[in-house]
Structure 1
Amino acid sequence: MAKVDRRVARTQEAIKKAFLELMSEKRFESIIIQDIADRANINRATVYLHYMDKFDLLDKIIKEHISNMSSFCESEPQMNWIESTEHCMEYFEENFLFFSTMLASEGAPYFRNQFVQHNIKEFKKDVDLTKGKNEGQSEVIVVEFVANAYVAVVEWWIKNNMPYPPKVMAEKVGVLLERNL
């Protein structure tokens, strides 16, 4: 894999941070590239060097966080639900600006849909319909239920400024996941 130039990485991080800050302050549709450039203290052309437009920037930020979250949450193959969930909650805490902005802004429906779809794919790997409470249930319904419930709980936790530490949230959510999968 090619080594990323530190200057390029710093510039992209400045652009993303500026964009998220702006999204937390004003409506997505009123943000223009010049606003992002001004906040990041760079030239407008530099933003266009890295991103086609604000929609491309939003899409890339979302994909990057979902990918990073997936890697972070599943960093050890033999983790149980609670351990895996704790990793996820720590990721949400470390990236509070992103998640709080995405879940509270106009970009929320688009992000929320991407977040739910990611969780559907992940929970589908763990659903067991051959025994226990889910025996005979529809896989689609069980997975949709669990993925949407998980996203709703994360959304509640973040919108309420994380009233429980990640470990406590992980224990509470992990137990619920074990019961339903």
Structure 2
Amino acid sequence: MMVKKGDRRVQMTRRMIKESFLELMQDYPISKVTVKMICESADINRSTFYAHYLNPYDLLNQIQKETLSHIQTYIMNKHFIIEKNKVAVPTLVQVLDFAKNNRSLFRVLLSESNSSNFQKGLESLANEKTMEEIAEEERLEGSAYEYLQIFEISGIISIMKIWLNKGCVDEPEELALLISKLLFQGIGGFYQ
């Protein structure tokens, strides 16, 4: 598909706005980021910003949706398989690689002041693919299913936050194997 010159300018403008916004979000919570701050940082005028977004919350929402959509392509991959006592390590590696390559984005999206919608979206994606298969295999029902769901997803997201904040020092492959081991063997798996 041929990209028109105008389309490239629109894409470049949106990228500049997003990058400036994410830089600001590393220092300020969303409630303190203004359109004026974004425009000054991106070196654009207000009308340019408003041609693309309603306000900073709309911009954050769009960034969250795009990021979740990208993650969904990995999770919904036909090669995503859960075997007994094994989470789909290659899929986790892909997601962690994406997070590592977009570390500042993920640090902002998973920060304490901004994470609720993004985290809910991650939870929803994880539930769609993994929890039903695990619950079915282990024959879990009711509150046991709910507790496992919360434990699994909260654990993975917490590990990701720490990993991102430490600068992604562990390789995605190592972290994916660790997460899989924790999920299916618990801490007992480390004492065998």
TM-score range, shorter chain: 0.7 to 0.9
1:161 paired residue among 159, 162, 167? 167
| Aligned residue number for residue 103 of structure 2 | 96
| Aligned residue number for residue 45 of structure 1 | 47
| Aligned residue number for residue 62 of structure 1 | 64
Q: Which moved more, 1:162-171 or 1:109-118?
A: 109-118
Instruction: Please give the per-residue CA displacement for 1:29-79, whole angstroms capped at 9, x wherever unaligned.
Output: 221101111111211111111111111111111111011112145545256
Partner AA of 2:121 in structure 1: Q
Give the C-alpha shift of residue 145 in structure 1: 2.1
| Aligned residue number for residue 177 of structure 2 | 171
Aligned partners of 1:68 and 1:147: how far apart in 2?
Answer: 18
Aligned partners of 1:136 and 1:25: how far apart in 2?
Answer: 43
Instruction: Please give the per-residue CA displacement for 1:68-92, whole angstroms capped at 9, x wherever unaligned.
Output: 1121455452566111111111011
- Quick check: 1:114 aligned with 2:121? yes
Instruction: Please give the per-residue CA displacement for 1:134-156, whole angstroms capped at 9, x wherever unaligned.
Output: 34453333222212211111112
Give the C-alpha shift of residue 179 in structure 1: 4.5
Quick one: structure 1 residues 72 and 129, their matched pair in 2 at CA, closer, same or farther if it must change by over 3 Å?
closer
TM-score (norm 1): 0.84
- Equivalent residues of 2:30, 2:57 under 8 A apart: no
TM-score (norm 2): 0.80
| Aligned residue number for residue 145 of structure 1 | 151
Q: Which has the larger radius of gyration?
A: 2
Aligned partners of 1:78 and 1:110: how far apart in 2?
Answer: 25
Quick one: structure 1 residues 135 and 158, their matched pair in 2 at CA, closer, same or farther if it must change by over 3 Å?
same
Quick one: structure 1 residues 126 and 77, their matched pair in 2 at CA, closer, same or farther if it must change by over 3 Å?
same
- Quick check: 1:124 aligned with 2:131? yes
- Runs (5+) with no aligned partner, structure 1: none
- Quick check: 1:83 aligned with 2:90? yes
List 4+ stretches of structure 1 deviating above 6 A: none
- Equivalent residues of 1:73, 1:87 under 8 A apart: no
- Quick check: 1:23 aligned with 2:30? no
Q: What's the RMSD between the two structures over aligned residues?
A: 2.5
Aligned partners of 2:128 and 2:3: how far apart in 1?
Answer: 31
1:171 match: secondary structure: helix
